[in-house]
């Protein structure tokens, strides 16, 4: 295998947000350790995506799949970069022709966290409070369980959100525990929410690495840092998502867990306004993960009425 050297560094593409950079650095460090390479054997290339450029409008208005990935995938295809590091939660289930996404780093805590300046928990949140989120899934889950809450649109990074809380725009907000952990934001007051109270997004907490399909050198390198368990869990979760034809911005939740040789997959689909939630789970052999994902999706879909996915 031909190793990257300080003369021909491996180019790692990423978005420029603090979380994206932390994920790219983790990938570089794992590769450097696996192959005993110096830091100079890698270059981190920051790429601005449409989603980064448009910051003043709700995500659902801009719409479209690949909002945070298109420009990065173009850079991969044109060989400006050699690998791209992504939050798997934001990745469409299919990749453009010529690219493949089958390397995963060990998954972080997949749960959502309740964030309020004074601490506290979601279940103890007083009636009628205002909470901020830009995620359709979290909004639907909140309104389903707590119709008394007032949900307002909340975008931006961790610091922006904390400032909004300080300015009393909302009493609480929600962020993935994984992101906070990876950022090392230990002083952000957060309480993890149990999965049965708020089931996470498919692939939440997992980092995936995309590459050109025909790049054998990179394929071999990535194989050394792939986490098998994360791959097996995501295979089930993403098959479930694919069968539901969803993306990050639809009210779909799903989480696979492994125990012995068994995989347990929980799933939930909701009406956008939180008026209905269909939930189910399935267990089976780990190797049948993708099949279990399809079965769970089919079961949930069979319970929907025609207007279930309509916007309200």
Ligand X SMILES: NCc1[nH]cc(CCC(=O)O)c1CC(=O)O
Per CB under 6 A, 92 contacts ligand X: no
CB nearer ligand X, residue 173 or residue 294: 173
C-alpha to C-alpha distance for 223 and 312, rounded to whole angstroms: 44
What kind and span of H or E run contains 196?
none
Per CB under 6 A, 205 contacts ligand X: yes
Give the residue from 162, 145, 144, 146 showing the smallest Cα distance to 154: 162
| Residues sharing a CB contact under 8 Å with residue 115, sequence separation 6 or more, in sequence order | 161, 162, 165, 172, 173, 174, 175, 188, 189, 190
- The least CB distance from residue 260 to ligand X, in Å, is 26
Per CB under 6 A, 90 contacts ligand X: yes
Per CB under 6 A, 248 contacts ligand X: yes
Per CB under 6 A, 199 contacts ligand X: no
C-alpha to C-alpha distance for 284 and 276, rounded to whole angstroms: 27
CB nearer ligand X, residue 41 or residue 142: 142
> Which range of residues in 35-43, 82-90, 162-170, 276-284 is near ligand X by CB under 6 A?
82-90
Per CB under 6 A, 140 contacts ligand X: no
Measured at the alpha carbon of residue 309, what is the angle toward residues 306 and 312, in degrees to the nearest 5? 110
Asked if residues 198 and 119 have their Cβ atoms less than 8 Å apart, the reply is no
- The least CB distance from residue 178 to ligand X, in Å, is 4
Per CB under 6 A, 208 contacts ligand X: no
| Letter string b/e over residues 56-70, b meaning 16 or more CB atoms within 10 A of that residue's CB | eeebeeeeeebbbbb
Per CB under 6 A, 82 contacts ligand X: no
Tokens of 44: 């981190």
Number of amino acids touching ligand X (CB under 6 A): 10
Per CB under 6 A, 115 contacts ligand X: no
Q: Are strands 130-132 and 150-152 parallel, antiparallel or unpaired?
A: parallel
C-alpha to C-alpha distance for 55 and 45, rounded to whole angstroms: 21
Q: Which residue has the tokens 């207007």?
A: 307
Per CB under 6 A, 86 contacts ligand X: no
> Which range of residues in 83-91, 123-131, 183-191, 228-236 is near ligand X by CB under 6 A?
83-91
Per-residue x/- track, 157-196, ligand X (CB under 6 A): ------------------xx-xx-----------------
Give the residue from 82, 35, 37 showing the smallest Cα distance to 215: 82
Per CB under 6 A, 89 contacts ligand X: yes
Is residue 148 flagged as an active site residue? Answer: no
- The least CB distance from residue 246 to ligand X, in Å, is 14
Full DSSP string of 223-259: HTT--HHHHHHHHHHHHHHHHHT--TTSSEEEEEEEE
- The least CB distance from residue 115 to ligand X, in Å, is 9
Per CB under 6 A, 87 contacts ligand X: yes
CB nearer ligand X, residue 135 or residue 295: 135
Per CB under 6 A, 282 contacts ligand X: no
Beta strand residue intervals within 76-187, DSSP E: 83-87, 99-104, 112-115, 130-132, 150-152, 172-176
The residue annotated as part of the active site, out of 82, 90, 112, 215, is: 90
Per CB under 6 A, 230 contacts ligand X: no
Contact residues for ligand X (CB under 6 A)? 87, 89-90, 175-176, 178-179, 204-205, 248
Task: Tell me the catalytic residues.
Answer: 90
């Amino acid at each position: 295998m031909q190793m990257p050297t300080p003369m021909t560094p491996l180019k790692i593409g990423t978005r420029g947000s603090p979380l994206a950079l932390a994920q790219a650095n983790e990938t570089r460090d794992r590769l450097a350790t696996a192959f005993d390479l110096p830091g100079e054997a890698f270059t981190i290339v920051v790429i601005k995506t449409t989603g980064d450029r448009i910051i003043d409008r709700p995500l659902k208005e801009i719409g479209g799949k690949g909002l945070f990935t298109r420009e990065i995938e173009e850079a991969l295809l044109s060989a400006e970069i050699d690998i791209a590091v992504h939050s798997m939660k934001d990745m469409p289930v299919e990749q453009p022709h010529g690219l493949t996404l089958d390397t995963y780093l060990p998954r972080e805590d997949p749960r959502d966290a309740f964030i309020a300046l004074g601490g506290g928990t979601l279940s103890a949140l007083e009636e009628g409070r205002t909470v901020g989120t830009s995620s359709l899934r979290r909004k639907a889950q909140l309104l389903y369980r707590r119709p008394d809450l007032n949900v307002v649109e909340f975008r931006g990074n961790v610091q922006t959100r904390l400032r909004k809380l300080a300015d009393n725009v909302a009493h609480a907000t929600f962020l993935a525990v994984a992101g906070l952990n990876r950022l090392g934001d230990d002083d952000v007051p957060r309480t993890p929410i149990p999965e049965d109270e708020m089931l996470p997004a498919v692939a939440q907490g997992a980092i995936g690495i995309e590459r050109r399909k025909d790049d054998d050198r990179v394929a071999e390198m990535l194989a050394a840092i792939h986490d098998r368990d994360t791959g097996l869990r995501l295979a089930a979760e993403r098959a479930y998502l694919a069968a539901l034809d969803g993306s990050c911005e639809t009210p779909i939740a799903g989480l696979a867990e492994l125990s012995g040789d068994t995989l347990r997959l929980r799933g939930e689909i909701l009406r956008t306004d939180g008026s209905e939630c269909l939930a189910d789970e399935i267990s089976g052999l780990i190797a049948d993960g993708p099949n279990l994902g399809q079965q769970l999706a089919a079961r949930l879909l069979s319970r929907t009425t025609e207007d279930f996915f309509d916007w309200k």
